[in-house]
Amino acid sequence: MWFDAARVVIALVVAQRLAELVLAQRNTVRLLAEGGVERGHRHYPIIVLLHALWLGTLAMMAPGSVQAWWLAAFAVLQAGRVWVLWSLGRYWTTRIITVSGAPLVRRGPYRWISHPNYLVVALEIPILALALDLPWVGLGFGIANLVVLWWRIRIENQALQARRVIPAG
């Protein structure tokens, strides 16, 4: 089933991302004030640019209709995104901020997956493009995002390594 809603969907995603950036900035300021340290700041502007270009490209190229099945899959991913934000709570930010002595989060999806937010992002970029009937945009930005995530996950794992609890024996 198809319906004409591409611009509304894109506007909602942009609004969601802007609200998340406000929350992330609040958490970042608080964590830094508590002695948190940012790692990997060089890649952050690349992530922001990639996501801005992705949304801008979708807005410019979307034919106007939305494929309902793919949009439903995207909505499920947004529920996963909310679960991640809720699970991390005050520690959720778009940057890599580590606070010495703070425990690693082990609730929500973090019980099973080390980086559930990155899984959500890796899936939502191509799925939203598919919902807007732009498979090549999804493929291109999906691959670019995977490269940046590979870089980011390496940095984040190094930053968190000192806080990981390694079982004895």
Summarize pLDDT for 52-67 with one digit per residue, the tens. Answer: 999 999 999 998 889 9
Alpha helices in 2-115 (DSSP H): 6-33, 44-61, 68-88
Question: How do beta strands 37-39 and 96-98 pair?
Answer: antiparallel
pLDDT of 108 higher than 60 = yes
Model's pTM, two decimal places? 0.88
Rg for the chain (alpha carbons), in Å?
A: 17
b/e map 111-122, b = 16+ CB within 10 Å: eeeebbbbbbbb
Domains of the chain: 2-161 (1.20.120.1630)
Q: How confident is the model at residue 163 (pLDDT cuts 50, 70, 90)?
A: low
